[in-house]
Chain A
Amino acid sequence: MKIFPLSMKNLVRKPGRTTALVLLTGFLAMAVFGGSVIILSLRTGLQSLEARLGADIILVPSEAQSKVSFQNMFLQGTTGAFYMDASVTDKAMEVAGVEKAAPQTFLASLKADCCSIKIQVIGIDPSRDFTVQPWIARSLTGELGDMDVVVGCKVEAGIGEIIRIYEQRCKVAACLEPTGTGLDTAVYCNMHTMDNLLAAAEAKGVSHKISSGDDTVVSAVYIKVKDGYDIDTVNTALTGKLRKVTAVRTRSMITGVSDSLAGISRTVTMMIVVIWALAFIILLLAYILIVRERSREFAVLRLIGASRSMLSRMALLESAICGLTGGFAGSAAAAVGVFSFSALIENSLGLPYLIPGFGTILLLAAGTILLSIAVSALASAFAALRLSRVNPGTALREGN
């Protein structure tokens, strides 16, 4: 039996009814797809942050906690700088359980004539670094040369371009993949370049001197703990050995972010559930109202030989088509909204936010569309059953 053409005609030639049903399912799809993309982006962002930090412990000067929110530098890209004696790296290596210690030096450029853009510059020591280089290696083949920089994906500079930092000309050697964190707005260079930049900044009145007067400074030391050692024990040992240095467990940073993420996920999920429940009830009522409107039509179909199962299938097929269209339209609308305003969402949440890959998005959209079809069919199941059980004799006499 060719019920598909009949169903299509029913849908196309009742545009008001069809539009209302499509809009309702579209609304459902928009909520679930949009909400899921946001939750997934937050999770991907967190995973990215965890992978990018790549260390078990980060040593920073004690003043770092008050001078600039250390976490904000990673999460939101806040620029800032704090310094400690470079000897911290070697002293840390003496602590039992420390496998690797990689220093980094920070410098914030200015929003002034001397600098092209206001960014966070991070100097790394290629011989010791184990956190950033694996990421740089994905975008840059070979060594990071003097006065070369690797820029985060959100820094507005292309490969080969020259950016000025304290009147120093730095060439963009590579762009990093997005991380969804504040690190996307940072610029990386080697320690020699950083020394030049620190000197140039000094000349502009931006001091990096520390109280000891030592010129050799670092901002943070990333620690990798040896296998078999307890990270908390090593953390305590580092704090005890190094004066005026705070040892931050990266896990605690991640946990903080993770807690916020869990809260947001819960809220978004709850909103999705409430929207789905409300829209499902409305959809259910709409289909129940349709039973009354269409009982005569179904009675005619029964009369001319349509079986109950044909009529059920027809009703379910129509609702499935509405679900498919609504699911597709809702997912597309949500995609436009979520992707267009991803920067706004990221800024307002203040958490690592990295939109998952195309494949994942496609799977999510397919899942949303399938779910919309299923919910639409479920909401219409009762109506389909009622319509298929219409008594043609009674229905055709009513309303004559």
Chain B
Amino acid sequence: MLLQAENISKTFFRDSGSSNYFYAVSPLNLDIASGTLTVLMGRSGSGKTTLLNMLCGILQPTEGRVLIDETDLYSLNDAALSRLRNERTGVIPQGRSAVDTLTVLENILLPSKLYGKTVPTEKAVHWMRELEIDHLADAFPKELSGGELRRMAIIRAIVQDPDVLFADEPTGDLDDENTDRILSAFSSLARRENKAVFIVTHENDAVKYADRLFRMEKGRLEPSSPA
């Protein structure tokens, strides 16, 4: 599997400033292949999340194309793109990302239920045990701490067995022990299960797991050395 960003950029409009349009992401090319863990670092507001959103198919670039195995994501209609997102990508967004009316286990299994796929309950239970939230299976999101919610979102993305896993500040709410556990799991997904993992973070913890490292500054992407 190969995810390719071809000359993609994103401009936004704002009222203030000398120019009304500004580049959140300047034109860039990027390849993300199976079996690699790619880390993108940068300060807040540097355009990391905007890039991730474009890559995972929820934000159309102003220019350029995003391809997964030759399929141009943004040439698809909404139904097809949504289905592709469901079947081939897993996204761990920033902050809370739970459906409040569903229990933790229901939230985790929701993506497979959305299209009537086989529900990976055993896999979900395994990961819940692994990340120590198995006792919260029947709890509702409002009863969970930030860290527990984050782990729930991570499991939800992993258990669908996606080709590409996108994680936006995945360890933001986690302690050191859980941070290591999650990053190890991501690394294992890339190396053992041949998944493509793309992590966006402003913390240095993920660097040691990275196969490829990039930095982003004011919308510009610069390659960096993992070591």
Contacts of B116 in A (CB 8 A): 1-2
A203 sits at the interface (CB 8 A): no
CB-CB nearest in chain B for A9: B101
Tell whether, in the assembled complex, residue A305 and residue B79 are in contact, meaning their CB atoms are under 8 Å apart. no
Complex-state Cα separation, A10 to B110, whole angstroms: 13
Complex-state Cα separation, A303 to B98, whole angstroms: 11
Tell whether, in the assembled complex, residue A391 and residue B59 are in contact, meaning their CB atoms are under 8 Å apart. yes
Flag the segment in A77-85, A122-130, A193-201, A307-315 that touches B. A307-315
Tell whether, in the assembled complex, residue B101 and residue A310 are in contact, meaning their CB atoms are under 8 Å apart. no
Contacts of B83 in A (CB 8 A): 305, 307
Complex-state Cα separation, A310 to B116, whole angstroms: 13
Contacts of A5 in B (CB 8 A): 113
A396: contacting residue among B94, B100, B115, B140, CB under 8 A: B94
B86-103: contact bitstring with A at CB < 8 Å (1 yes, 0 no)?
110001011111111110
Tell whether, in the assembled complex, residue A304 and residue B87 are in contact, meaning their CB atoms are under 8 Å apart. no
Contacts of B179 in A (CB 8 A): none
Contacts of B58 in A (CB 8 A): 302-303, 391-393
Contacts of A392 in B (CB 8 A): 53, 58, 93
B65 sits at the interface (CB 8 A): no
Tell whether, in the assembled complex, residue A397 and residue B49 are in contact, meaning their CB atoms are under 8 Å apart. yes
Contacts of A302 in B (CB 8 A): 58, 82
B50 sits at the interface (CB 8 A): yes
A309: contacting residue among B79, B85, B113, CB under 8 A: B79
User: Which residues 129-166 of B sit at the A interface, judged by CB distance below 8 A?
Assistant: 140, 156
- Separation in Å of the B174 CB from the closest CB of chain A? 15
Contacts of A243 in B (CB 8 A): none
Complex-state Cα separation, A6 to B85, whole angstroms: 19
Tell whether, in the assembled complex, residue A10 and residue B101 are in contact, meaning their CB atoms are under 8 Å apart. yes
Complex-state Cα separation, A14 to B140, whole angstroms: 12
Complex-state Cα separation, A299 to B58, whole angstroms: 10
A300 sits at the interface (CB 8 A): yes
Tell whether, in the assembled complex, residue B79 and residue A396 are in contact, meaning their CB atoms are under 8 Å apart. no
- Separation in Å of the A262 CB from the closest CB of chain B? 50
Known A-B contacts A1-B114, A14-B101, A393-B50; the reply to A304 vs B59 at CB < 8 A is no
A393: contacting residue among B53, B85, B102, CB under 8 A: B53
Tell whether, in the assembled complex, residue A2 and residue B82 are in contact, meaning their CB atoms are under 8 Å apart. no
- Separation in Å of the B79 CB from the closest CB of chain A? 5
CB-CB nearest in chain B for A296: B96
A349 sits at the interface (CB 8 A): no
Tell whether, in the assembled complex, residue B114 and residue A9 are in contact, meaning their CB atoms are under 8 Å apart. no
Complex-state Cα separation, A397 to B102, whole angstroms: 21
Tell whether, in the assembled complex, residue B110 and residue A304 are in contact, meaning their CB atoms are under 8 Å apart. yes
Contacts of A297 in B (CB 8 A): 99-101
- Separation in Å of the B50 CB from the closest CB of chain A? 7
CB-CB nearest in chain A for B140: A13
B170 sits at the interface (CB 8 A): no
A10, A301, A304, A400 — most chain B CB neighbours (10 Å): A304
Contacts of B110 in A (CB 8 A): 6, 301, 304
Contacts of A305 in B (CB 8 A): 82-83, 85-87, 111, 114-115
Tell whether, in the assembled complex, residue B59 and residue A309 are in contact, meaning their CB atoms are under 8 Å apart. no
Contacts of A310 in B (CB 8 A): 82, 114
Contacts of B86 in A (CB 8 A): 304-306
User: Which residues 17-49 of B sit at the A interface, judged by CB distance below 8 A?
Assistant: 49
B78 sits at the interface (CB 8 A): yes
CB-CB nearest in chain B for A305: B86
Tell whether, in the assembled complex, residue B111 and residue A396 are in contact, meaning their CB atoms are under 8 Å apart. no
Contacts of B100 in A (CB 8 A): 13, 297
A1-33: contact bitstring with B at CB < 8 Å (1 yes, 0 no)?
110011001100110000000000000000000
Complex-state Cα separation, A305 to B49, whole angstroms: 18
CB-CB nearest in chain A for B92: A303
- Separation in Å of the A400 CB from the closest CB of chain B? 3
B94, B97, B98, B110 — most chain A CB neighbours (10 Å): B97
Tell whether, in the assembled complex, residue B114 and residue A303 are in contact, meaning their CB atoms are under 8 Å apart. no
- Separation in Å of the B117 CB from the closest CB of chain A? 10
A277-296: contact bitstring with B at CB < 8 Å (1 yes, 0 no)?
00000000000000000001
A297-338: contact bitstring with B at CB < 8 Å (1 yes, 0 no)?
101111111111110000000000000000000000000000
Tell whether, in the assembled complex, residue A304 and residue B50 are in contact, meaning their CB atoms are under 8 Å apart. no
Contacts of B102 in A (CB 8 A): 6, 9, 13
Complex-state Cα separation, A305 to B82, whole angstroms: 4
Complex-state Cα separation, A307 to B58, whole angstroms: 11
Contacts of A13 in B (CB 8 A): 100-102, 140
Tell whether, in the assembled complex, residue B79 and residue A307 are in contact, meaning their CB atoms are under 8 Å apart. yes
Complex-state Cα separation, A393 to B61, whole angstroms: 13
A306: contacting residue among B82, B87, B98, CB under 8 A: B82
Tell whether, in the assembled complex, residue B78 and residue A307 are in contact, meaning their CB atoms are under 8 Å apart. yes
Contacts of A2 in B (CB 8 A): 113-114, 116
- Separation in Å of the B111 CB from the closest CB of chain A? 4
CB-CB nearest in chain A for B50: A393
User: Which residues 343-400 of A sit at the B interface, judged by CB distance below 8 A?
Assistant: 391-393, 396-397, 399-400
In addition to A13-B102, A305-B114, A391-B58, 9 A-B residue pairs with Cβ atoms within 8 Å of each other are: A1-B116, A2-B113, A9-B102, A303-B91, A303-B93, A305-B83, A391-B59, A396-B97, A397-B95
- List A residues at the B interface (Cβ < 8 Å): 1-2, 5-6, 9-10, 13-14, 296-297, 299-310, 391-393, 396-397, 399-400
Which 6 pairs between the two chains have the least Cβ-Cβ distance?
Answer: A305-B86, A400-B95, A307-B82, A393-B53, A13-B101, A304-B111
Pull 20 A–B residue pairs with CB atoms less than 8 Å apart, ordered by A: A2-B114, A13-B102, A297-B99, A300-B97, A300-B99, A302-B58, A303-B58, A304-B85, A305-B82, A305-B83, A305-B87, A305-B115, A306-B114, A308-B78, A308-B82, A392-B93, A393-B93, A396-B93, A396-B97, A400-B96
